[in-house]
Each structure stands twice: as structure tokens, then as C-alpha cells.
Amino acid sequence: MLDINLVRLNPDLVRENIKKKFQDAKLPLVDEVLDFDRKNREAIQRADYLRSQRNKISKQIGMLMGQGKRDEAEAAKQQVKDMQDELADIEQKEVEYAEEIKKRMLVIPNIIDASVPIGKDDSENVENERFGEPVVPEWEVPYHVDIMERLNGIDLDSARRTSGNGFYYLKGDIARLHSAILSYARDFMIDHGFTYYVPPFMIHGNVVTGVMSFAEMENMMYKIEGEDLYLIGTSEHSMIGKFIDQMLNEDELPQTLTSYSPCFRKEVGAHGIEERGVYRIHQFEKQEMVVV
């Protein structure tokens, strides 16, 4: 999430960044944040004034009573009560304004680094380096599930009975190959200087909203009923969440992290997601890279 000071001091930069991400529908959010922020700061200023006046007048009540000025003391008491009522209303508005600001700030995209080329989709990607040339075999490439079934390495029917669609048993050499590939990916990253992590597989809601939008969260993540915990959809969620409420010194950067986790998803059958095979379904495993 952006620093609110950046939006206050350079809203045009934030708007231009939104355009560069081709998310023009989010442009009104900048003005909405500025409006709520102005109201919130005015409310805070008014609340501070009321508190100081309330305290000042409260101190005078005892003195007035001691001087026998009962009518003036009662009038002062009424002033204090009126201020207290207004203050309670303002404090509620502060909470509401802060929630509205945060809701919008979580949706406004982060600033793109100056080195990143701008493109509306992957057709405008910039190729920096190429290793070899893609080879298309002369035969029809078998589907990965077909290969595993021929090798007696997957059991979909049993998984449907125990867990429903979107699950599978891996077995025998296919299960060993699965574990070996994860181990290879882990060691490859370690050999390149990455620090290996096994992160928590459940995270709090404020970590979730810090790494993804609420709409994505609802479509992807499983919530633990009755607790402020979500099953992670990727170890990236835990690994980014690792830095919540932390300020990193420049000499601590960059940090290169690699992490293993199972990934729990509700997105089976969503647009662009593999439907038939064993890729990105209800549960899978992944080796992640995170660079800070």
C-alpha cells in the first residue's frame, strides 16, 4: 500500500502510475482518498480542540462551585457534556474516514519502477535474453495426466471419493518425481544465494489484505471458521506478510528468499485456470521466490 503522504503531495504521479497499469477505472480513487483524508484531518483537528477545551472548562467547574457560582458551574457542565457528545460523534467519523481511506488505498496500485517497460498485455513484453529456440516435436504431445496414468502414478478416482473434484493422489515414481522436483528447485535457489524458508501455512486477515485485494481473497482463499486465520494460496502470502509493520534499512536490502508450501485454492474452473489436470487446483505445492 502506498504512503498516504505520497498521495497527498504528488497525486498526479499516482494517477499517471494508474494509467501506466491500464487501470483507468481506479483513477477516481485518488480524489476520493484525498477527500476522505481532508475530512479526516479536519475531524482530528476539531477533536483535539474539543478535548483541550473540555479539559480546560472541566477544571473551572470545581472552582466555580467553590465560589458559590452554581449557575455558571451548571452552564459549564452542560458545555462539557455538549463537547463530549460532539467528540464522540467526531471520533466515530474518524474511524469511518480511516476505513474508507484504507479500503481505497489497498486498491490503488504500487508505483512501477522506472526501469519497467510499459505494455498493455504480454504481446508488448520486452525480451531481454533468450536461451536456445523452442522446439515443436513431430508427434502429438501427450497430456500430463495421461502420462501419469500410463505410469500408474496418479489416482483421481480415490481422491474424488475422499475429497471431491480438484484433488488427486500421486503415487510411486510419480510421487517421488514430484518430491524430487521440489527439492531440486529448493537447492537450485539456495545455490544462487536465496535463503530457504518454510513459512506458516495460515495467516491473519490483515496480512491477507496486505498482499491481495478482498475480491481476490474471497475467490481464492479458504477461511478458518470462527478464527482470524486463512489458509495460504501460496507461500508468497506468508513471505510478503513477514515484513508487516517492519521498516527495512537500505543496508539490509536486497533480501532474496525462497520458500516451500502447500497452496490451498478455491479457484478451480476459474477463467484461465487449468481445469482437467493437476495444475493450480484445490491443493498443490510450490517453491516460491521473493525478492525485496
**Where do the structural domains in the chain lie, given as residue ranges?**
4-105, 136-291
- pLDDT at position 184 is 98
pLDDT score of 269: 44
Residue type, 247: M
Residues 122-144: tens digit of each pLDDT: 899 999 999 999 899 999 999 99
Which amino acid, one-letter code, is at 30?
Answer: V
pLDDT in tens, 204-247: 988 988 887 766 777 788 999 999 999 998 999 999 999 999 99
- Least confidently predicted of 185-194, 198-207, 255-264, 268-277: 268-277
Tell me which fold the domain 136-291 belongs to. BirA Bifunctional Protein; domain 2 (3.30.930)
Task: Assess whether pLDDT exceeds 90 at residue 201.
Answer: yes
Predicted pLDDT at 86: 94
CATH number for domain 4-105, candidates 1.10.287.40, 3.40.720.10, 3.10.20.30, 2.120.10.30: 1.10.287.40
Digit-coded pLDDT (tens) for 145-155:
999 999 999 99
Say if 4-105 and 136-291 have the same CATH topology.
no
pLDDT above 70 (res 3): yes
pLDDT for residue 276:
64
Tell me if 227 sits within 8 A of 218, measured CB to CB: no
pLDDT in the model for residue 165:
83
Of 65-69, 115-119, 257-261, the poorest mean pLDDT is in 65-69
Dump pLDDT digits (tens) for 9-34: 999 999 999 999 999 999 999 999 99
Whole-number pLDDT of residue 31: 97
Q: What percent of the chain has pLDDT over 70?
A: 95
Residue 12: per-residue pLDDT: 97
Among residues 156, 180, 160, which one has the least CA distance to residue 169? 156
Report residue 275's pLDDT band, with 50, 70 and 90 as the boundaries.
low
pLDDT surpasses 90 at 46: yes
**d(C-alpha 200, C-alpha 224), whole Å:** 14
- For the cut 70, the answer to whether the pLDDT of residue 270 exceeds it is no
Give the HSE-up count for residue 208: Cα atoms under 13 Å, Cβ half-sphere: 21
Our CA angle for 107, 18, 32, nearest 5°, is: 55
pLDDT classification of 271: cutoffs 50, 70, 90: very low
User: Residue 34 has which C-alpha cell?
Assistant: 484525498
Q: Which residues pair with 154 in a beta bridge?
A: 170
Q: Quickly state the pLDDT bin for 279 (edges 50, 70, 90).
A: confident
Cα distance between residue 107 and residue 73, in whole Å: 51
Give the span between the Cα atoms of 152 and 150, in whole angstroms: 5
Residue of 39, 52, 54, 56 lying closest to 90 (CA atoms): 39
Joined together, the cell numbers standing for residue 93 give: 467519523
Reported pTM: 0.71
User: In Å, how far from its chain's centre is CA 193?
Assistant: 26
Q: Please give the average per-residue pLDDT across 67-75, as a whole number.
A: 85
- For the ranges 63-67, 241-245, 258-262, the lowest mean pLDDT is seen at 63-67
Helix (H/G/I), strand (E/B), else coil: 291 = strand
